[in-house]
Amino acid sequence: MKKLNSILFFLFLLVAFNVKAQDPAVNEKLTEVNDKVNGLLERLATDEADLSKLTKIKISGYMQAQYQNFESKAVQPNSYFSLRRVRVKFTYEATDGVKFVLTPDFSPGNFALKDAYVVLNDRWSKSFSLWAGKFNRPNYEVEYSSSQREMPERSKVIGTLYPGERAIGAKLEFNPVNVPIHMQLAVLNGAEGITVNSNAGVNLNSNENKDYDNYKDVMARITYNLSLGSFGGLDFGAHGYFGSLKSNALTTLSSDYTTVSSIKVGDPLKRNWLGGEFQLFADVLGGLSIKGEYLAGKNASVGYAPFSLAGVAKPGVANFQNKFAGYYLYLIKNLGKKNQFAFRYDYYDPNTNIKGKDISITKFTPADLTTLSAKTSGKSDLATTTLGFAFHHYFDDNLRITLAYEIVQNEKVGTVGKVVDSYTNPDGTSGTMDYSSKVNQNVLTLRIQAKF
């Protein structure tokens, strides 16, 4: 573009040099040529500025088309094709150290804005960056892109604690230039993806763009990268979540179903947990990695206070705070340059105070059932173990085919008939699944992923 401008300017000088300045007709013609050249130069400068802006925009994305077969009788239809993710990522480098990111998901029937944030990078020490908007929560498996992950979905514990993976807020990151440490501190709305039902069954937390309450949640994560020389590398770290939900009830019931405490409407209902992680990468036998994470703490769900309907008193539902623990462990092995095998052991216990044999035995019965409903342990307290196997074939850097099979095993209930699920067959008949034995919930997934 600059070369073209120089040529045009040279031609203009050449014309001006060969004309007679004392000839009015020639001067008029020269002025006309001068105006045209200036107009052309202005348009070229505008086009160059517009082109410069376009070169700052980077577009990437991926699509995941899949077929799934569910062995659970409760899933109908139990096999179908779908588009799991259809995402386009727009990244705009506005200026040095300033980046805007926008990622919509165009999955049919599930359009959503996944990412929308700005990053301001420190231009002086090159160590700090400030994020603001909607972005991934600071956690390894959450931040690990769905286009790179070795299993079709995230582990049970991560999917439960961080529904939707993203949250709206601000985050400060510290990456010192000469030290292999990474620190993150985020302040988030925190309630994204959580259902808070009113006494009428209406979700009070349905506005994703607005916080449910005045409480803000804090997340912190720190990781360290350790080089193991020619063998590979080891990343390890920890993260913590410290948050609250606004109580709508007057009572909080703990996960043992016997400990009850009073609380006021509007008071904070705590949700706190800690986690430790590691990722080992070994340059042996074509490439091998082992990685895992363990999390434990206290989660919570919101109840509601007693109310009156048509002049009739209705009992409230207590808040519930459950102690949980969960972890996952990956083993990933490259098989040549085009294939990869992955195994994941995934365990999640939503209530570490209740074992399968205790289900429906330990329970809470308030003194006044007209004020507060009784609550009994059940299916939601059972632990789940998932064995996942996946085989990937990479046609090239942009196309991957995945065949995965997940074996889901429930914690067994001690007594037959205590915890059952009913289901409806395609012919309209009904049946039940008894959790005193293994309930088949295995899933087969065949997925094609295309990236650009």
Instruction: Per-residue pLDDT tens, the chain, 452 aa: give them.
Output: 555 455 545 545 544 555 444 556 656 665 665 666 666 656 656 655 565 667 789 999 999 999 999 999 889 899 999 999 999 999 999 888 899 999 999 999 889 999 999 999 998 889 999 999 999 999 999 999 999 999 999 999 999 999 999 999 999 999 999 999 999 999 999 999 999 999 999 999 999 899 999 999 999 999 999 999 999 999 999 999 999 999 999 999 999 999 999 999 999 999 999 999 999 999 988 889 999 999 999 999 999 999 998 889 899 999 999 999 999 999 999 999 999 999 999 999 999 999 998 898 888 888 888 889 999 999 999 999 999 999 999 999 999 999 999 999 999 998 888 889 889 888 888 989 999 999 999 999 999 999 99
The helix/strand/coil state of 159 is: helix
**Is residue 429 within 8 Å of residue 439, measured between CB atoms?**
no
In the three-class reduction of DSSP (H, G, I as helix; E, B as strand; rest coil), residue 36 is classed as: helix
- Structure confidence at residue 286 (pLDDT): 84
C-alpha distances in angstroms, 55 versus 42, 46, 58, 270, 428?
20, 14, 8, 47, 58
248, 332, 338: which is closest to 284 by C-alpha? 332
Q: Helix 24-54 vs helix 2-17: angle between axes, to the nearest 10 degrees?
A: 180
For the domain bounded by 56-451, which CATH number is listed? 2.40.160.10
d(CA 68, CA 49): 49
- What dihedral do alpha carbons 300, 306, 307, 313 form, nearest 10°? 150
Rounded to whole angstroms, how far apart are CA atoms 28 and 219? 72
First to last CA, the chain: 29
**Helix, strand, coil proportions of the chain in percent (round to 5)?**
15, 50, 35
Q: Are 440 and 431 in contact (CB under 8 A)?
A: no
Burial class (CB in 10 A: 0-12, 13-18, 19+), 100: middle
Q: How far apart are CA 216 and CA 203, in angstroms?
A: 19
| Per-domain residue ranges of the chain | 1-55, 56-451
Closest CA to 290 of 300, 298, 301, 279: 279
Give me 275's structure tokens: 């986690």
Buried b (16+ CB within 10 A) or exposed e, 328-352: bbbebbbeeeeebebbbebbbbbbb
Q: What is the pLDDT of residue 417?
A: 86
The model scores a pTM over 0.85:
yes
Helices (H) and strands (E) in the chain, counts: 4, 24
pLDDT at 239: 98
Q: Which residues contact 428 (CB under 8 A, 6 or more apart)?
A: none
For the beta carbon of residue 76, count every other beta carbon within 10 angstroms.
12
Which tens digit of pLDDT belongs to each residue from 80-114? 999 999 999 999 998 888 999 999 999 998 899 99
How does strand 319-335 pair with strand 251-254? parallel
